[in-house]
Amino acid sequence: DVKVTQSSRYLVKRTGEKVFLECVQDMDHENMFWYRQDPGLGLRLIYFSYDVKMKEKGDIPEGYSVSREKKERFSLILESASTNQTSMYLCASSGQLWHGYTFGSGTRLTVV
C-alpha cells in the first residue's frame, strides 16, 4: 500500500524553537507539498517541490523553509516557531498530472 508518512502526529514546541516536520513517501513521486490547515481558512500551500533540491514558494511561505535532499523526503522547517504557527500541517505527494495527491495523516503542531 502506497504511503506518505509524517513523522509526528502531535507536536508541542516552545516559541522560538526551530522545528522540523518530516515527510517521507514511498511512491517515487516527483512532486511533494506542504499545506497548513486552519479552521475557516481551508488548505493553504506553504511550499512545494517538483524535483530533488528544487523548491517553490506557495501562498504562505513566510516563517517557513523546506529541504528536499532526497526524492522521497520533504522537510518543513519553522526557523523560529511562533504561536501563530499552531496548526495542522499536511504533507502530500503526487506523480503525473492525472494523479491526485496522496496525503499523510497530518501533524498537529502546537506552539506555546
Partner 1 sequence: AQKVTQAQTEISVVEKEDVTLDCVYETRDTTYYLFWYKQPPSGELVFLIRRNSFDEQNEISGRYSWNFQKSTSSFNFTITASQVVDSAVYFCALRINNAGNMLTFGGGTRLMVKP
Is 49 one of the binding residues for partner 1 (CB under 8 A)? yes
Interior CA angle at 18 toward 7 and 57, to 5°? 80
Q: How far is the CB of 27 from partner 1 (least distance, A)?
A: 13
Q: How far does the chain reach from its first CA to its final CA, in angstroms?
A: 36
- Report the greatest alpha carbon distance in the chain: 41
Q: Which residues contact 8 (CB under 8 A, 6 or more apart)?
A: 21, 22, 107
Is 87 one of the binding residues for partner 1 (CB under 8 A)? no
Instruction: Using CB under 8 A, pick the residue from 1, 62, 84, 96 that binds partner 1.
Output: 96
How far is residue 33's CA from residue 16's CA, in Å, rounded to a whole number?
24
Per DSSP, the three-state class of 3 is coil
How far is residue 18's CA from residue 30's CA, in Å, rounded to a whole number?
27
With contacts defined by CB under 8 A, name the span among 13-21, 60-68, 69-77, 85-93 that binds partner 1.
Answer: 85-93
Q: How far is the CB of 28 from partner 1 (least distance, A)?
A: 15
Is 31 one of the binding residues for partner 1 (CB under 8 A)? yes
Size, binding site for partner 1 by CB under 8 A:
27
Is 43 one of the binding residues for partner 1 (CB under 8 A)? yes
Contacts with partner 1, residue ranges (CB under 8 A) = 31, 33, 40-43, 45, 48-50, 56, 88, 90, 92, 94, 96-106, 108
